[in-house]
Amino acid sequence: MKFHFSKYHGTGNDFIMIDGRSIDTSVLKPQIISNLCDRHFSIGADGVIVLSESENHDFKMTYYNSDGYEGSMCGNGGRCICAFAKKLSVIHSECTFEAIDGLHSASIDKDGLVRLQLGDVNDTSQLKDGYFLNTGSPHFVKFKDSTDEIDVVGEGRIIRNESRFTDGTNVNFVEILASGIKVRTYERGVEDETLSCGTGATAAAIATFLHGRSNGKKIEVSTKGGILSVEFDHLSEDKFSNIYLTGPARNVFDGFFQM
């Protein structure tokens, strides 16, 4: 069986995109997905995303981490699947789609920037060493004077597996900049540092607001793969709504893989 795929990235967070509307994607078992994401012996990616039909909305998004298993919401992946849906003529410039954490809406401007609405954040926890919150995926946010010399993989893996995080967590290291924040992320499921993480950028921006280091409701986030922006409304002490993640989503190349 031959599958067509498109390779996309959102500020360096890269994905293998598959149009699952007319093919049997049940063959995409964890080992197959993991093999496809291998950067040395296959296509290489942080994850695989399948676009499928939705009864009531424009499409459905299913995201698999590079370990082969279905993951929680992926912000950059959500932006990339919108660009992919536009390429497939499933949508024009606006959409509503289903994901594992519920419904999302998005729009694409003339320059290809995708503005994705994420779910509300209704609970945040200030811990002794950082903040813990869920922006579609769980994130622990830790502030650092500088993120340049951090052992993101070493320190991130330790925190990711701490018993206080029941199902594990993504880990974001945040440095305050004059123009916004700089973020480096250890991603659960990828089990490595990624060049960017959309839900992580969002969690970092909200944590920066809670930390008293930003008075604004729109924060520029610098990642190793590029610049994102996060907007939100602060409703009460730990509740946030109208959360938007904006940034580019690029089609890198297309191809086929044989099953």
Query: CB of 228 within 8 A of CB of 246?
Result: yes
Cα 3 from Cα 17, distance rounded (Å): 11
What is the rounded distance in angstroms from the CA atom of residue 43 to the CA atom of residue 49? 14
Catalytic annotation present for 74: yes
Q: Which residues contact 228 (CB under 8 A, 6 or more apart)?
A: 11, 196, 198, 201, 220, 221, 245, 246, 247
Provide the token pair at 245.
């993640």
Measured between alpha carbons, how far is 200 from 12 in angstroms, rounded to an integer?
14
Q: Residue 198, SS3? A: helix
Q: Which two tokens stand for residue 89?
A: 């003529």
Nearest residue to 171 (alpha-carbon basis) of 162, 248, 120, 148:
162
- Using an 8 Å Cβ cutoff, are 91 and 85 in contact? yes
Pairing assessment for the beta strands 170-176 and 138-143 based on DSSP bridges: parallel
Is 82 a residue of the active site? Answer: no
Of these residues, 37, 80, 95, 197, which one is catalytic? 197
Catalytic residue among 37, 74, 80, 95: 74
Q: Which residues are identified as catalytic?
A: 74, 197
